Amino acid sequence: MLTELQTWMKFYSPPKKSDWTGRVDKDVSQRFHEIIICHDLTEKMPEQLSAFSRIGFVAFCCDEGVLRNQGRIGAASGPSAFRTAFGPLPHHLSSSTKVYDFGSIVCEEDDLEGAQEALGKVVAILVQNGIFPVLIGGGHEIAWGHFQGLRSAYPSSSISVVNFDAHFDLREVVDQKGTSGTSFTQIEQDNRKRDLPFDYLCLGIQKTGNTEALFSKAKELNVQYSPAEDFFFNQQKVTKQLDEWIKRSEKIYCSICLDVFGSFAAPGVSAPQPFGVHPWQIMPPLLALIRSKKLIALDIAELNPFFDFDHMTAKLAAHLVANLLIEIPAKNAL
């Protein structure tokens, strides 16, 4: 575990401009790789200008939690695949929006807990400097590290959590060792210690991806959820549930596990879902979250290039983020 503020640096790898490549057109910079600003977090933070909206990428190169959860490893390479897919995309951001790559937190020597705490330190730095964090994983153990940083930045606020996922990720923590399947259990336990509510909404749940015990755990913790089939057969129910949840939320953290999508769109995950949702079905809820002006952070989890086909999953993650970034600058809650 980390004992000093700067210990996160041992897990930190600065960004490289060479990681961002793509086509260069003759006219003004039109693609993300041309506007990404690489900034080393060990140096002075960029000056905060009120006229500029700032978005910061942080990579979490880790799949130790997936390994502990008996899943298929490979997600530690997810951020690299994301950068490759995201860089060439045309951007449609205003000149007042700045997009940064702040580098990576890398889990080494099986020290998941240390890497998660380091990630939390970095997230807190970004938020405290007025930067909207967009984290790219990595296994879904990213969520517990991400939340630690948000809690540090907002120690007494109620932070609601929405997770687009085929799984609840409410497994028990054994011997104080978390996995990719325990992040939201750890968030609940942390909130309980602080006497804060655990407000958790999970969208895209698969009956075949969760045991009866996990459904019982969700009920015990008063978790709200919509099964994946509602996105196909009852989209209005999903919309109403989300709208009511947003109204009573103070601040919202959103996590997107790529296994929520059907394997036709996201084969490159630890647990592909043949009956997963279509990407376009996810966009309206995501846009509603952003437009609520309550969203404080976003992450993408479980991108596993080892099992991807024709880079489909990496491209899905890249296109998803690119579409959301258009909305985030004017709408985020920082």
Q: How confident is the model at residue 2 (pLDDT cuts 50, 70, 90)?
A: very low
CA of 320: how far to CAs of 93, 130, 210, 263, 282, in Å? 15, 23, 26, 16, 9
Q: How confident is the model at residue 1 (pLDDT cuts 50, 70, 90)?
A: very low
Q: How confident is the model at residue 165 (pLDDT cuts 50, 70, 90)?
A: very high
* Fold classified for 5-331: Arginase; Chain A (3.40.800)
pLDDT at 196: 97
Average confidence score pLDDT of the chain: 95
Predicted TM-score (pTM) of the model is 0.96
The β-bridge relationship of strands 37-38 and 12-13 is unpaired
Q: Residue 266: pLDDT above 90?
A: yes
Q: How confident is the model at residue 27 (pLDDT cuts 50, 70, 90)?
A: confident
Domain boundaries, the chain: 5-331
Per-residue pLDDT reduced to its tens digit, 32-49? 999 999 999 999 998 876
Angle formed by the axes of helices 279-291 and 235-247, nearest 10°: 20
pLDDT at 322: 97
Nearest residue to 131 via CA among 139, 121, 123: 123
Provide, rounded to the nearest whole percent, the portion of the chain with pLDDT above 70.
Answer: 95
Give 6's contacts (C-beta < 8 A, 6+ positions apart): none
Per-residue pLDDT reduced to its tens digit, 57-69? 999 999 999 999 9
